[in-house]
């Protein structure tokens, strides 16, 4: 039997990422996107497969820049998004054959989402036009005239977004696009931030829009309302009797009588610890009611990964008879599909196992579901789900990484629950090196801390973790207080108290590592990204138990971060006080305040294009270490990279980052 290969950073080029599964209205075919590395860059194409029979998936598009496939209501066409340097446009392709044809001709800009009308006569498209001075066409003209790039000028606090860049005063607006001519007209332009959720009524006569038109929308989500737009008359009516608070993932029932959405009461936005609940309302009278209020589960408990699509939004699907709803719930490191009656009651689990389940759309009758399923030892693949009364029966469609998994030595995590200092139960995973790994004699271990902080680690494939295990490191990861997936109290425990209950839990995890006989307690490292970088910084400022640390896209100073992150946190909100005249609470929770104690060598990684946690957060860490003559290495990735670079950045830079990590641990954990 051939020896299995160890997993290295270079294997990133051989992993295939699938996503965006879409079942045809008749349930006979399924679309999905396939992303691979080709000629050193990410290449995304659209594939199609039958839901029955032996036929294999086939490639539908070939440009390498295609995504977001959507079936026409009669199953005859597929509309999709094609990207270029001048923005994105919608194309259509006939399923009987032929080349893709460009449908839209928007000015340079960005399309965020689109949906077919139930009649197929038009599409509702969320589009934002790029302000003229910042277009590629304007940039080309400046090359000829030798002019400098223009300054960014704004009078709005909402003018940039990580991964999206600077957009100034431009906002996404809702357009109707004729599916034959491509002509478009604007039907909604009042959303303050430009991020709204919308859906068609079953007849196609109306569109429901969950929108916030308040001037303070960035820090106050209470005014979010549901607007019913009448397509023929163009009239808008606010749905009455709806609770105040954010609303997302709005969905119209097949019988046309009800609307459902994910929401919560209150105005928390940036760092909410509240459970996102499922609301149902009459499509005419409103009277919205949460049907999950008494259930301590969240509709958006995100499980982090660096492979495949991470679904940050809520997922809601109606049954064909409008009596039930399907939702995705994150719990204890898993993501499962659950069913609940429209009138409320208990959540019924329809999937199971140590896995991550997510939904695409469903067929017209609601009986067939497009899905993705992945695990800690298998990157996500495309599945078809047959929805039954008590169970979803799944059938695998794509096998993009099956052979790769068979050929490589995969580390399998084992879960372990430990008790923290104050008797809180903490969910941990221990991923020991595969038998093929070398350098196991020194028993080094690395503690990984997730970002968010209100997300979770779990049964999701992590290429980075597998690289570390293949290099001989035992990898430990956990969900301390502050994580989603363990109830509201667990998540809320660190509100305005970062470095409190979470630090208590991390000390318990450290003690567990020290007591593990397969780990050399004097040969341990700690690392994390975003909030995980925050906690890494906090740990090295409070203990010398780790021989080395890696802080990635970190938070170090909550005072300075208050004014330089893309999402502003309002005064006396999640954090107490403010960052200009009452900074005491934020400074109390800032790791940099304790860097006079640090003796641990640190690798610092950050993207210059990070608009979520600005690179100045890492610059403070590096400066403090060098001024105190502590060993430090600072790796700054270019402006083309963002906060999410480790998950979806350029392949060559992602590999470079992983090699920097491995080199650092080889240097520190001897």
Supply the angle between the helices 463-470 and 651-668 in degrees, to the nearest 10.
40
**How many Å apart are CA 273 and CA 483, to the nearest integer?**
9
- Can you spell out the DSSP letters for 185-251? EEEE---SSS--EEEE-TTSSEEEEEE---TTTTT--TT-EEEEEETTT--EEEPSS--SS-EEEEE
Residue 669, Ramachandran bin (φ over 0: left; ψ between -120 and 50: alpha; else beta): beta
Is residue 179 annotated as a catalytic residue, yes or no? no
652-656 contacts: CB < 8 A, separation 24 or more? 652/40, 654/9, 654/12, 655/9, 655/10, 655/12, 655/13
- The DSSP output letter for 433 is P
- Does residue 475 sit in helix, strand or coil? strand
Which helix (H) or strand (E) covers residue 552, if one does? strand 548-552
- Cα Rg of the chain, angstroms: 25
Which helix (H) or strand (E) covers residue 362, if one does? strand 356-362
Which one of 530, 556, 618, 642 is the catalytic residue? 530
- Does residue 9 sit in helix, strand or coil? helix
Could you tell me where the DSSP H helices lie in 516-557? Answer: 531-540
**How many Å apart are CA 290 and CA 288, to the nearest integer?**
7
Is residue 642 annotated as a catalytic residue, yes or no? no
Helix, strand, coil percentages, rounded to 5, for the chain: 15, 35, 50
> What is the dihedral sign for C-alpha 75, 77, 81, 82?
positive
Residues with catalytic function: 530, 643
């Amino acid at each position: 039997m051939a020896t299995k290969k160890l997993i290295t950073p270079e294997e990133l080029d051989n992993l295939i990422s699938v996503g965006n599964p879409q079942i045809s209205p008749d349930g006979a075919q399924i679309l999905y996107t396939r992303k691979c590395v080709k000629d050193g860059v990410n290449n995304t194409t659209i594939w199609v497969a039958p839901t029955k029979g032996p036929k294999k998936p086939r490639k539908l598009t070939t440009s390498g820049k295609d995504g977001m496939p959507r079936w026409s209501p009669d199953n005859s066409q597929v509309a999709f998004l094609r990207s270029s340097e001048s923005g994105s446009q919608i194309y259509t392709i006939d399923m009987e054959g032929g080349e893709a044809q460009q449908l839209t001709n928007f000015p340079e800009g960005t399309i965020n989402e689109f949906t077919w009308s139930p009649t197929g006569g038009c599409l509702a498209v969320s589009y934002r036009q790029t302000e003229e001075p910042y277009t590629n066409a304007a940039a080309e003209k400046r090359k000829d005239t030798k002019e400098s790039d223009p300054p960014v000028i704004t009078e709005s606090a909402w003018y940039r977004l990580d991964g999206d860049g600077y957009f100034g005063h431009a906002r996404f607006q809702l357009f109707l696009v004729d599916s034959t001519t491509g002509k478009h007209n604007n039907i909604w332009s009042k959303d303050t931030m430009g991020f709204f959720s919308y859906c068609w009524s079953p007849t196609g006569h109306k569109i429901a829009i969950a929108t916030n038109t308040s001037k303070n929308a960035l820090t106050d989500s209470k005014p979010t309302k549901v607007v019913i737009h009448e397509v023929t008359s163009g009239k808008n009516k606010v749905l009455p009797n709806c609770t105040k608070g954010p609303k997302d993932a709005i969905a119209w029932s097949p019988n046309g009588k009800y609307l459902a959405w994910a929401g919560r009461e209150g105005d928390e936005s940036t760092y909410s610890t509240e459970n996102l609940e499922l609301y149902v309302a009459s499509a005419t009278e409103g009277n919205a009611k949460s049907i999950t209020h008494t259930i301590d589960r969240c509709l958006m408990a995100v499980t982090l990964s660096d492979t495949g699509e991470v679904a940050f939004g809520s997922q809601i699907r109606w049954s064909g008879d409008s009596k039930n709803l399907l939702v995705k719930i994150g719990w204890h490191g898993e993501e499962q599909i659950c069913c609940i009656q429209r009138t409320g009651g208990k959540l019924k689990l329809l999937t199971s196992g140590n896995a991550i389940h997510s939904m695409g759309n469903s067929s017209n009758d609601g009986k067939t579901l497009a899905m993705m399923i992945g695990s800690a030892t298998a990157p996500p693949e495309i599945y078809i789900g047959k929805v039954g009364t008590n169970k979803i029966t799944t059938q695998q469609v794509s096998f993009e990484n099956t052979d790769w998994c068979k050929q490589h030595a995969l580390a399998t995590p084992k879960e372990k629950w430990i008790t923290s200092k104050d008797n809180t139960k903490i969910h941990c995973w221990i991923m020991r090196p595969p038998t093929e790994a070398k350098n196991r004699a020194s028993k080094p271990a690395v503690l990984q801390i997730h970002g968010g902080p209100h997300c979770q680690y779990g049964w999701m494939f992590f290429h980075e973790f597998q690289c570390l295990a293949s290099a001989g490191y035992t990898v430990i990861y956990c969900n301390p207080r502050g994580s989603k997936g363990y109830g509201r109290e667990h998540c809320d425990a660190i509100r305005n108290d970062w470095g409190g209950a979470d630090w208590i839990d991390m000390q318990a995890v450290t003690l567990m590592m020290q007591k593990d006989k397969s780990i050399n307690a004097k040969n341990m490292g700690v690392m994390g990204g975003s909030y995980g970088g925050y906690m890494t910084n906090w740990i090295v400022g409070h203990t010398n138990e780790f021989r080395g640390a890696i802080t990635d896209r970190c938070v170090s100073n909550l005072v300075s971060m208050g004014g330089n992150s893309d999402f502003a946190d309002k005064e006396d909100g999640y954090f107490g006080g403010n960052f200009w005249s009452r900074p005491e609470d934020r400074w109390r929770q800032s790791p940099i305040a304790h860097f006079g104690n640090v003796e641990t060598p640190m690798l610092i990684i950050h993207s210059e294009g990070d608009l979520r946690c600005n690179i100045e957060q890492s610059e403070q860490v590096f400066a403090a270490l060098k001024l105190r003559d502590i060993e430090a290495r600072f790796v700054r990735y270019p402006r083309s990279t963002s906060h999410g670079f480790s998950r979806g950045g350029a392949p060559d830079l992602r590999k470079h980052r992983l090699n920097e990590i491995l080199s650092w641990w080889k240097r520190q954990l001897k």
